[in-house]
Structures are given as C-alpha cells and as structure tokens.
C-alpha cells in the first residue's frame, strides 16, 4: 500500500492515459510507464482508490483502464503545472 506516491510517476501515468484518449490495456500502460508489474499495480490501485481511473471489460473480456472525469481534471492540474513550471522537463 502506497502512502506517498511519486507524483512524477502519477503525472506520467495520467499523461499516458490522456494522450491515448481512450481506454488502454494494463500491459500497454505498464510498458509506456516503464515500471515493473508490482510497482505498476501499486500505482493502479492508488489511482483506482482516488477515482482517477476506472477499469472496464471490453467485448473480448479484456480489462481496460480509462481516465475518469476526476482523472482528466487531475491531469490538467498536475501535468500542465509540471509542463509550465519545469519548462523542458519531459513527462
């Protein structure tokens, strides 16, 4: 259970989701995020608990993750702030 998540990792997770514009498979997000599976699951659980992302099943029964409206708002507040404040820092 994560008490203090790395906000840069959270920002990257939100940025990946927002840039995709639709739901994504866990493995695709994990690969783009560049963390191991246990770490990915910690962040996913933290984001789910905070209602920033939601999990649904597609027509094939595969889990897909998408941003909630709260997640989109958090993306704009956190990622936009990082991009504005830390000019040139890659998310």
**pLDDT on residue 91:** 78
Surface-to-core class of residue 47, CB atoms within 10 Å of its CB (0-12 exposed, 13-18 middle, 19+ buried): buried
* Cα 40 from Cα 30, distance rounded (Å): 6
Q: How far is CA 29 from the centre of its chain?
A: 8
**pLDDT on residue 17:** 96
Q: pLDDT digits over 35-78, tens only?
A: 999 999 999 999 999 999 999 999 999 999 999 999 999 999 99
Closest CA to 83 of 14, 5, 3: 14
């Amino acid at each position: 259970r994560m008490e203090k998540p790395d906000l840069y990792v959270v920002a990257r997770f939100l940025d990946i989701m927002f840039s995709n514009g639709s739901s994504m498979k866990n493995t695709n997000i994990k690969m783009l995020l560049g963390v191991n599976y246990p770490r990915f699951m910690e962040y996913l659980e933290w984001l789910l608990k905070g209602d920033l992302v939601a999990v649904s099943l597609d027509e094939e029964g595969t889990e897909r993750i998408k941003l909630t409206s709260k997640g989109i708002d958090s993306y704009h507040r956190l990622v936009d702030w990082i991009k504005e404040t830390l000019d040139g820092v890659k998310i």
